Structure 1
Amino acid sequence: MLDPIALFFQRIFAAVGRGVGLVVAWILWPFVTAANWYRARGWLIRGPIGIFLILLVGFYAYFIWQTQAWTNFNPDYVNAYNLGERKQDAGTSSATTPTGEVGEPEPKTCVRSAIVDVTADLIDFNVNQNAWISSMLLYKLGLFGLEWDKTPWFDNKAAFQRGVNQAIRRTAVELVDALGRVRGTSGINNDLQRARGNMQFDEETWYFGSDSLLPKTPTPNYYRTAMGDLRKFNASLEACEAIFDGRSDNLIEFLDRITNDIGATSDIIRRQSEFQNGGWFDTRADDRFWFAYGQLYGYYGILSAAGADFDAVIKARGIGTLWGESIKQLRSALKVQPFIISNGKEDGWIMPTHLATMGFYILRVRSNLVEMRDVLAR
């Protein structure tokens, strides 16, 4: 009595097996054909092609390794700066003491900017400690012409780096326009101006491009130059030859710009979460997630540094507790590190919604920044 049922399922499994076999054969057919053609050629043809294939495999192996190895990635990287031990705001004079028998004073020194140090180190992390993925040739070529950002593979690190870079760019602009000069009474600092210009450079430039036959300077070189300019500014500040204007209105403006920046990212995540919620099959969800993660990763260090550079203002306005809570929430957002990003529906019960979770953390951080800004503006 059970034989017809068993036979039915056997036929189904056999049909499925034949279907899978046909799909695999269809996928492998070009490779098998190419291999047969290659074996039939002489060494005069096989030699150069073999060398080319070996180089291509090595090239792809290097590319895959660089996209998967996140060197010195550490959500607790802020701890290395010991910002809590800072006793003076950025740009303030250090006390001089007499030295030697004649009582000559030591050279006057000023306090370095923690914001500038962290920003320069984030650039170093992005382009020196790690390869800058967005301008790598194989990343630009994509998967048979399809952008890697539109696939589930090899794009998470690139999106993360671009998120960090967004925080760096925003900070570089504010350093030039407000923090690195006394508004209305001093000119723009040349080192900061060069750093801002170099950080605005296109993120995807390789040595050559379709718009010109001449060789180009790749993106990482511009960012390395910006890093050097930031370090030069801090050296000048330490020698009391530059300005860091730690006034409350500058801090308000800085918070405004950061709030707007992460607010724009929150809107991108909202639209992706609402209109493209394909669960694990949303190939753009991982880009949105890791860009937002990188942006918060960068701002975690930059805002922690701002707390040290503007310590006097924060204490005078009584927002120390609120500031500390905002930093804690930034760090909490960095705990969310899913292996596979899913953009499921918020009321779904099978596929999680990692984008909505990241959006929640962003809005919580943004809310605290707005509250601190309002307190400072009173």
Structure 2
Amino acid sequence: MLDPIIQFIQGIFSAIGRGVGMVIAWILYPFLSASRWYASRGMILKAIVGLFLLLLVGIYGHFIWETQAWTGFNPDFVNDYKFGDRKLAAGADVPNADAAAPKKCQTSAIVDVAAGLIDMEVNQNSWISSMPTYKAGLFGLDWDSTPFLDNKASFQRGVNQTVRRTTIELVDTLARVRATSGVNRNLQDARQNMQYNEESWYISFSPFGFRTPTPAIYRQAITELRDFNKELGDCQVTFDGRADNLLQFLDRISNDLGNTSAMLKERSEKYNAGWFDTRADDRFWFAYGQMYGYYAILTAARSDFAPVIAEKNLGQLWQQMLGRFRAALNIQPAIISNGREDGWIMPTHLATQGFYLLNARNNLVDIRDVLDR
């Protein structure tokens, strides 16, 4: 009586086996054909092709290593700056017992962190998005459309978004007195350089021509940010740490996070294919990079705007907000799954990340409301 059921189940597994075999054969066919062609060639051609393949293996081996080795990655790296030891807000006069000594001012923690984030991206690591092997994709398919080797690039772009936003706000508000003073040249150059194309290499094919690679331009921004801080330390420029400037900065960050939240929500609702959603990982790691960068920037802002935060009694709320950002950075799954929110097999990492992001953003809005009173 059970024989028909057993035969039915065997038929299903047999069909699955044949299907898997056909897929494997289809994948291996080009390589088997190439190996037969290679075996029938002469020694000189074999040597040339062999050297080319060896070079290709070396190039892609280096590419794989660069995408998997995350040098300097540490969600708590901002603690190394010891901002808790700072007693003065950015731009404040530094007391000096020697009246004859040159006047000194407190440098900006935000500028220090922004320069440090760029340094991590282009000096401690390779900038993945502009590497030729990343731009070439997987057999012409964009790496972002695959589940492979794109996590670090997405993370870097997320961090880069925070630095771009920060340099814009430094130029427009934070380093100007009520927008009436002139724009600082170093910050203006840093902002311009951070807007540079994220995918530039030495040669561009659209349009064709020679270009400066992205990492070289971003390295210039590091120098310009640190030059501004040197000028600030010598009291030659200003950092305007008013409450309305902080409010506007938080508004811009909140808008950034709102856009990312919408991106996560759309992907989570419309493409919940679990582990088989090939674009879930780049969405997740972009959001993660953004949270990573803003956690550091906002920790630094607590030092730069210390008098405002104390005056508005925001210390506890600010710490709670930073705690929400830091909690989001604890989510580091090996494989990103975009499952249904009510699913019971495949997790929903995008929705989880979106939950933490919205919590942090809500805290930002609360702080903004206090500042606006």
Interval containing the TM-score (normalised by the shorter chain): over 0.9
Residue matched to 2:46? 46
**CA distance in structure 1 between the aligned counterparts of 2:7 and 2:344, rounded to whole angstroms:** 36
Residue matched to 2:363? 368
Q: Which moved more, 1:12-21 or 1:41-50?
A: 12-21
CA contact (8 A) 1:168 1:298 kept: yes
**CA distance in structure 1 between the aligned counterparts of 2:158 and 2:126, rounded to whole angstroms:** 15
CA gap 1:13/1:245 in 2 versus in 1, 3 angstroms: closer
CA contact (8 A) 1:96 1:105 kept: no
Q: 1:314 and 2:326 equivalent?
A: no
**CA distance in structure 1 between the aligned counterparts of 2:298 and 2:34, rounded to whole angstroms:** 56
Q: Which moved more, 1:326-335 or 1:11-20?
A: 11-20
Amino acid in structure 1 at the alignment position of 2:43: W
**CA distance in structure 1 between the aligned counterparts of 2:182 and 2:304, rounded to whole angstroms:** 21
- Within the candidate set 202, 210, 235, 1:207 is matched to 202
**CA distance in structure 1 between the aligned counterparts of 2:27 and 2:299, rounded to whole angstroms:** 52
State the Cα distance separating 1:118 from its structure 2 match: 0.1
- Within the candidate set 194, 214, 231, 1:219 is matched to 214
Structure 1 segments of 4+ aligned residues over 6 angstroms from their partners? 1-12
**CA distance in structure 1 between the aligned counterparts of 2:313 and 2:164, rounded to whole angstroms:** 29
Superposition map of 1:122-141 within 5 A:
122-141=117-136
Q: Structure 2 regions of 5+ residues with no counterpart?
A: none
Residue matched to 1:190? 185
State the Cα distance separating 1:39 from its structure 2 match: 1.7
CA gap 1:3/1:336 in 2 versus in 1, 3 angstroms: closer
Residue matched to 2:294? 299
CA gap 1:328/1:12 in 2 versus in 1, 3 angstroms: closer
CA gap 1:311/1:7 in 2 versus in 1, 3 angstroms: closer
State the Cα distance separating 1:22 from its structure 2 match: 3.7
Q: 1:28 and 2:23 equivalent?
A: no
State the Cα distance separating 1:151 from its structure 2 match: 0.7
CA contact (8 A) 1:199 1:226 kept: yes
CA contact (8 A) 2:328 2:356 kept: yes
State the Cα distance separating 1:16 from its structure 2 match: 4.9
| Post-superposition CA distance 1:114-142 (Å, at most 9, x none) | 00000000000011111111111111111
Superposition map of 1:212-291 within 5 A:
212-291=207-286
State the Cα distance separating 1:160 from its structure 2 match: 0.5
**CA distance in structure 2 between the aligned counterparts of 1:194 and 1:168, rounded to whole angstroms:** 14
Superposition map of 1:90-101 within 5 A:
90-98=90-98
Residue matched to 2:105? 110
Residue matched to 1:61? 61
Amino acid in structure 2 at the alignment position of 1:292: A
Q: 1:170 and 2:147 equivalent?
A: no
Q: Is the partner of 1:256 in helix, strand or coil?
A: helix
**CA distance in structure 2 between the aligned counterparts of 1:345 and 1:15, rounded to whole angstroms:** 29
Q: 1:334 and 2:329 equivalent?
A: yes
- Within the candidate set 332, 348, 356, 2:351 is matched to 356
Q: Is the partner of 1:214 in helix, strand or coil?
A: strand
| Post-superposition CA distance 1:241-276 (Å, at most 9, x none) | 111111111111111110111111111111111111
Q: Which moved more, 1:213-222 or 1:19-28?
A: 19-28
| Post-superposition CA distance 1:284-332 (Å, at most 9, x none) | 1111111010000000000000000000110011111101111111111
Amino acid in structure 2 at the alignment position of 1:24: I
Amino acid in structure 1 at the alignment position of 2:49: I
Q: Is the partner of 2:209 in helix, strand or coil?
A: coil
Q: Structure 1 regions of 5+ residues with no counterpart?
A: 99-103
| Post-superposition CA distance 1:164-217 (Å, at most 9, x none) | 000000000000000111124310000000000000011111111212443210
CA contact (8 A) 2:281 2:336 kept: yes
**CA distance in structure 1 between the aligned counterparts of 2:253 and 2:138, rounded to whole angstroms:** 35
CA contact (8 A) 1:300 1:331 kept: yes
State the Cα distance separating 1:35 from its structure 2 match: 1.1
Q: Which moved more, 1:133-142 or 1:205-214?
A: 205-214
**Superposed CA RMSD:** 1.8
CA gap 1:188/1:42 in 2 versus in 1, 3 angstroms: same
Amino acid in structure 2 at the alignment position of 1:71: T
Amino acid in structure 1 at the alignment position of 2:261: S
CA gap 1:4/1:269 in 2 versus in 1, 3 angstroms: closer
Residue matched to 1:77? 77
Amino acid in structure 2 at the alignment position of 1:141: A
